[in-house]
Structure 1
Amino acid sequence: MYKNLTLATALTAVSAMPLMAAVTAATTTELNLRAAPGPQAEVVAVMPQDATVDIAGCTSTDWCKVSFDGTEGWAYSPYLINTTMPEPTVIYQNTGTMEIETIEVDNNAADATAGAAIGAGAAALLVGGPAAVAAGAILGAAGGAAAPADETVTYVTQNPVEPVYLNGEAVVGAGLPQEVEIYTVPESEYSYAYINDAPVLVNPEDRRIVYVVR
């Protein structure tokens, strides 16, 4: 009798423990799924805009471990929106209120490389930093240009330049810091650069990415 009561009490205590709810998110733009957190990690897949992902946890900075279409990897959290909340909420800097598990990773090497090419003060890809990226995601500000001419894409891919590594992802709508050199494309209104190994077309007037060549 005593054993039965003890077991019942234990089961009640276990069932009463709060469980961390699974978090489902959506991508706000075409987004890389990487093998590890950081802009230099291998790209294992490219997730389309509005793709659904399941979040297993996030680092204390700005990367989340996710599952997309059966593939696990890491995604940049300013471009992920929690779809299980009453209002769309960017994952970035909100993991605590969403009770998302924190994953500890060593980002020292990635951070050092990201700042090396243009200086430590220009580590954020979007002008204004990841917080501005997150705000733009909520407002749907990441709009791109129409597909460029084939000649433009060919020129960019056949004339690679030294890549610049920045924190975050090279996505449409992101702005490049002034320290990043952009290059002219003949007979085109756009300039170009290689950001985190990805060729990108840039509007030279505001230095924002208008197209990512994949």
Structure 2
Amino acid sequence: MKNIILKTTAAAAALMALTGIAAADVTAVAVTDLNIRSGPGPQYPIVGAIGANQEAVIGGCQEGSKWCVVSYNGVDGWAYSDYLTAPFGGERVVLTERPSEALPPVSYEATSSVRTEVVHGELIGRKTALGTIEPIPAPPAEIRTYVEAHSAEPVYLDGEVVVGAALPDTVEVREIPDYQYRYVYVNQQPVLVEPETRRIVYVLR
């Protein structure tokens, strides 16, 4: 896995040079803690994260998808545009809903043997106000221990794992004894889920 991460990170770095991300002048703000991945999809390794309310430089977005090239705090990679906002036309909008000419299209060609996982559905993002999405308070230590001790094969969903995103009905969530929330591993990360709404309420990082 270490070799895969190093190779895919190198590929992402090469892409930054090709797309001229260093010269880009479009910045976006993350509305929640947002993963940076080595490629445009949930199956690629996590190489960093953009903190909630922090700015990242946007180098362009993949045509026909919601994944964009980003640079943040010395880390280059890809992030999911549903949770990034930027000023276009005098107002701040979700990057996914940007004008088509606002950012250049970029492409990605994997130079390593990244394992492609089957995408079983899509995380349904929050379409409400462009504010920070707040998680529940940190769960007790024994909850984290239980989830880590009872890990399961992750499901891979199009989108990014953030608080407030909803799971499709096809994803099975697991019970935690004497605890109100359920859990599941999504896109390589364990998350706590509110069973009634199927929304992610906490990401165990």
Normalising TM by the smaller chain, what interval?
A: 0.7 to 0.9
- The 3 A distance-change label for structure 1 pair 114 and 50 is farther
Residue 15 of structure 1: aligned partner:
none
Q: Is the 8 A contact 1:142 1:174 kept in 2?
A: no
Quick one: which of 31, 34, 38 aligns to 2:37? 34
Q: Is the 8 A contact 1:55 1:64 kept in 2?
A: yes
Which amino acid in 2 is paired with 1:101?
P
Q: Is the 8 A contact 1:23 1:84 kept in 2?
A: no
Q: How many angstroms does 1:149 deviate by?
A: 1.0
**Structure 2 unpaired stretches of 5+:** 1-22
Aligned residue runs from structure 1 range 51-70, under 5 A: 51-60=54-63, 61-70=65-74
Instruction: Map Cα deviations across residues 121-152 of structure 1 (whole Å, 9 max, x no partner).
Output: x2x111xxxxxx3623x443733211111111
State the identity as a percent: 40
Aligned residue runs from structure 1 range 44-193, under 5 A: 44-60=47-63, 61-83=65-87, 86-98=90-102, 100-105=103-108, 113-115=117-119, 118=120, 122=121, 124-126=122-124, 133=125, 135-136=127-128, 138-140=129-131, 142-193=133-184
Quick one: which of 187, 192, 198 aligns to 2:189? 198
Q: How many angstroms does 1:114 deviate by?
A: 3.9
Relative to the length of structure 2, the TM-score reads: 0.80
Count of aligned positions: 179
Distance 1:95 1:42 in 2: 29
Does the residue aligned with 1:25 lie in a helix, a strand or coil? Answer: strand
Q: How many angstroms does 1:84 deviate by?
A: 6.1
Does the residue aligned with 2:197 lie in a helix, a strand or coil? Answer: coil
Residue 209 of structure 1: aligned partner:
200
Distance 2:87 2:61 in 1: 16
Distance 2:29 2:89 in 1: 12
Q: How many angstroms does 1:36 deviate by?
A: 1.0
Distance 2:94 2:158 in 1: 18
- The 3 A distance-change label for structure 1 pair 139 and 26 is closer
Regions of 4+ moved over 4 Å: none
Higher share of residues assigned strand? 2
**Structure 1 unpaired stretches of 5+:** 1-19, 127-132
Which amino acid in 2 is paired with 1:80?
L
Q: Is the 8 A contact 1:145 1:211 kept in 2?
A: yes
Which amino acid in 2 is paired with 1:46?
A
Does the residue aligned with 1:135 lie in a helix, a strand or coil? Answer: coil
Relative to the length of structure 1, the TM-score reads: 0.76
